[in-house]
Chain A
Amino acid sequence: MLYFSNLKTFSVLSVIIITLFFAVPNFFSKDQINSFPNFIPKQQVNLGLDLQGGSHLLLEVDTEEIIKERVENLNADVRRVLKKNNLNYSNFKVSNESLKFVVEGFNSEIQKEISELSMSNSQNILAMGDQTNLIITQEENTIQINFTEEFIKQSVSNAVAQSLEIVRRRIDELGTREPSIQRQGSSRIIIQLPGIDDPDRIKSLLGQTAKLTFQLVDTSVNFDPFNPSKAPIGSEILASDADEEFKYIVKKRIMVGGENLVDAQPGFDPQTNEPIVSFRFDRIGATKFGRVTQQNVGKPFAIVLDNKVISAPVIREAILGGSGQISGGFDSEEANDLAILLRAGALPAPLIILEERSVGPDLGADSIEAGQFAAIIGFIAVIIFMIFVYRYFGLLADIALIINLFMVLGVLSLFQATLTLPGIAGIILTIGMAVDANVLIFERVREEIRNGSNMMNAVENGYKRALSTILDANITTLIAAIILFFMASGPVRGFSITLAIGIFTSVFTAFTFTRLLISLNAKRLKPNFVGLSKNA
């Protein structure tokens, strides 16, 4: 057991040196690393948001809103078909997921018509080859229409994917440093923003669906903006963005929507010097906009964002060039944000912020400093204690411990695992527990010596006997670490990572490196080397 072939020695040392090699960049500044020759690794340990400062946001796509919208569309489709066929319906009920009504003369023709209309309105959601997205059940004259489960699932999934893309675009527009935006589960999005400790602006950017529409103002009725009466059919009452109390009556029909925008930029009105957002339509949008403005010169139209009227200017002349500008009394940051929102596009459904964790850069730096200091003190204490108990062997275990610590750092850098504050705690805990494998071996060696073995045999048998115990003992801790890894997220997950890495490196060093050190001294070994008195 003590004998190490050259090949074995070589492989053990290679593994250690290679791992240590990856720890090297952590001891230099970013600038120094960049001047390194290419063969030296450049990846430092990836610090978690709790150590480098930053913001973590967990968002959820409001899926109920998506289903509600689908049901509303279906509602309109169904009523249109019924009206077209001159059918009188009654007891029309719209619930969360279905429509229900009583009608006479409902037949398969009408059923087919509804299905086809609904299908054609949901083209981009359905998978290829889907025959229908509706389940229509008839009981005498009562009709119930539901979406298929598959369709609901697909709608939600599409909306989440789309939201993810739009969130990414909005955040990229702000020029944030290395943001990470990931989907979690079926309807959630995790955003990690290093270096941002006050995410107010991002939260407000994400808090808007940013659905932009251009609609004509309904001038057919006179009304008091502060106390409007009921809107005529085909129109709706919308509040002003600047003043909640001020209302407009706006025609429901959308002239042009935000999806036809190709660009939006913040700027200043050359005459008033007021911040504005100028925009440009695509070809379809430009044609539509040109036609409507041509037909409605002299009338006001409303620029509506998320159901609030930003402004309602009067059309002075036909706008045929496909570009225009929005002014609504905003400051330059608001203009900038609006431009970002318009460029990035509208969210298919509102986003709800479920969780926010932000850490300022000071606290992160303090945590690193405190963690490093605690690690050094703990490390020194353990080193002294081990030498006190096991003398020469203790010293060997201490050398292994130092190697071990750098190996953890190397493995963290190599796999770009994230080091968090609990992760540092995990490393410190590893310092304490890493010596355990050596302690088990040394205790065995002592026992063998007391039972009369000579030193060489004692060491040999010590390693042999301790092996299964060490494996059992470490596998239990590893099981705990693995469960923690899968259950936790963020900082706590960082703890399970360092703990697990520490288990592997400490068992590895105990069985290879310390043993190698002992075997190099095999001929000179004496009982007092393991902390036993000479006559033991």
Chain B
Amino acid sequence: MLNISGTQINFLKVRVITFILSAILICLSIGAFFVNGLNFGIDFKGGTLIEIETSQEIEISGLRDNLNTLELGDVQVQEFGSSKNLLIRVEQQLGGDQVQQDVVQIVKESLESYLSTDINFRRTEVVGPKVSGELIQSGAIAIFVAVFAMLVYIWFRFEWQFSLGAVLALVHDVILTIGVFCITQLEFNLPIIAAILTIVGYSMNDTVVVYDRVRENLRKYRSKEITDLLNLSINDTLSRTIVTSVTTLLALLSLFIFGGEVIKGFTFAMIWGVVVGTYSSIFVAAPLLRYLDVKREWNTTSAVDSTR
């Protein structure tokens, strides 16, 4: 039987440490963004991706050398899940949208003549420069719109202090997620944008639950010191925060391990986001309220209701 109810952990006491930790991680992320940059997939960079399955194991370096003689620019070959599954990436060709189409044909013919095994072409993706430019733009816009929508929603439902705190925590989560992709150089593609948007939703969900309790306790304990009150609120909701994170992580881990190679990057981003989002609601969003001068006089009618 798991029962984390009734804890009295002093979360606010470590706020200086966690703020510094978050600051370091944010600096690392921003640094990695400018030093390494994101490893954009073809969704955002344009180019061609071909996934093949062969009946025998292939010596990758030989194939890579062979494909790099085709004068298609940089051609990457990597294993994808097993040694018989290969992923071939060809960079975007100069000369507009139409020429990208020729790459598939050239690579397919070259593979068929070079490899002596049966080849099953499992996936072919060609993204031209026009579309990749639009995708990256709409992806960035979507994230900004989502964060802004959260800001407005929380402002409506709470007060501007809460809205600001929640959005700062949200920006923290988004930066750390993009940062982990800069550091690990995992491929950053369209599904990762979807993952970030979901993280925005999830992290907000977590933060709202804590904030909801803060608001309730503000009504309930008029004279309680704000630090104590925030601690109490985090402790009140801690059990829920942990249980929901665990169930979500259980589902995501199962997807990460068994869900196949294609959505691995997506699931990784989600798992990271859930961990960071949970951390930020407890150690960033809630402690921030201490500095944001939250209003103590909530309307009394509902306060009566929640005071015992």
A→B interface (CB under 8 Å) = 50, 58, 60, 197-198, 200, 203, 207, 352-360, 362-363, 366-367, 370-371, 373-375, 377-379, 381-382, 385-386, 388-389, 391, 421-422, 424-425, 428-429, 431-433, 435-436, 439-440, 443, 446-447, 450-451, 465, 468-469, 472-481, 483-484, 487-488, 491-492, 495-496, 499, 531-533
User: How many residues of chain B get a CB closer than 8 Å to chain A's CBs?
Assistant: 77
Rounded to whole Å, the gap between the CB of B168 and the closest CB of chain A is 15
Q: B180 within 8 Å of A by Cβ?
A: no
Identify which of residues 16-35 in chain B touch chain A, using a CB-to-CB cut-off of 8 Å.
Answer: none
Write 22 A-B pairs (CB below 8 A) sorted by A numbering.
A60-B130, A198-B121, A352-B97, A356-B101, A357-B125, A362-B120, A385-B246, A421-B262, A425-B255, A425-B259, A428-B252, A428-B259, A436-B244, A443-B239, A447-B5, A468-B212, A469-B213, A472-B208, A477-B205, A480-B146, A480-B201, A487-B138
The segment out of B59-67, B189-197, B290-298 that lies at the interface is B189-197
In angstroms, Cα B131 to Cα A391, docked, is 52
The segment out of B68-76, B110-118, B223-231, B263-271 that lies at the interface is B263-271
Q: Which of B100, B138, B244, B270 lies at the interface centre, i.e. has the most chain A CB atoms within 10 A of its CB? A: B244
Are B6 and A432 neighbours in the complex by a CB distance under 8 Å? Answer: no
Question: What's the count of A-B pairs with C-beta under 8 Å?
Answer: 242
Are B205 and A422 neighbours in the complex by a CB distance under 8 Å? Answer: no
Rounded to whole Å, the gap between the CB of B195 and the closest CB of chain A is 9
Q: B178 within 8 Å of A by Cβ?
A: no
Which of B202, B239, B257, B266 lies in contact with A422, CB distance below 8 A? B266
Are A355 and B121 neighbours in the complex by a CB distance under 8 Å? Answer: no
Rounded to whole Å, the gap between the CB of B218 and the closest CB of chain A is 15
B→A interface (CB under 8 Å) = 1-3, 5-6, 51, 53, 97-98, 100-101, 104-105, 120-128, 130-131, 138-139, 141-142, 145-146, 149-150, 153, 157, 190-191, 193-194, 197-198, 200-202, 204-206, 208-209, 212-213, 236-237, 239-240, 243-244, 246-255, 257-260, 262-263, 266-267, 270, 306, 308
Which of A385, A439, A480 lies in contact with B198, CB distance below 8 A? A480
Q: Which of B208, B254, B266 lies at the interface centre, i.e. has the most chain A CB atoms within 10 A of its CB? A: B254
In angstroms, Cα B209 to Cα A465, docked, is 12
Which of A357, A476, A492 lies in contact with B208, CB distance below 8 A? A476
Are B124 and A357 neighbours in the complex by a CB distance under 8 Å? Answer: yes
Give A57's nearest chain B residue, CB to CB.
B126
In angstroms, Cα B252 to Cα A204, docked, is 42
In angstroms, Cα B101 to Cα A495, docked, is 28
Give A58's nearest chain B residue, CB to CB.
B131
Q: Which of B153, B200, B208 lies at the interface centre, i.e. has the most chain A CB atoms within 10 A of its CB? A: B208
8 interchain residue pairs of minimum CB distance: A480-B201, A378-B254, A432-B251, A432-B248, A370-B260, A477-B201, A378-B251, A487-B142
Rounded to whole Å, the gap between the CB of B304 and the closest CB of chain A is 14
In angstroms, Cα B201 to Cα A479, docked, is 7
Give A493's nearest chain B residue, CB to CB.
B194
Which of B128, B193, B248 lies in contact with A354, CB distance below 8 A? B128
Are A386 and B53 neighbours in the complex by a CB distance under 8 Å? Answer: no
Which of B126, B141, B251 lies in contact with A487, CB distance below 8 A? B141
Are A370 and B258 neighbours in the complex by a CB distance under 8 Å? Answer: yes
Residues of B within 8 A of A488 (CB): 142, 190, 193-194
Which of B120, B128, B190 lies in contact with A353, CB distance below 8 A? B128
Besides A421-B263, A476-B204, 4 other A-B contacts (C-beta < 8 A): A359-B122, A360-B123, A429-B270, A481-B201
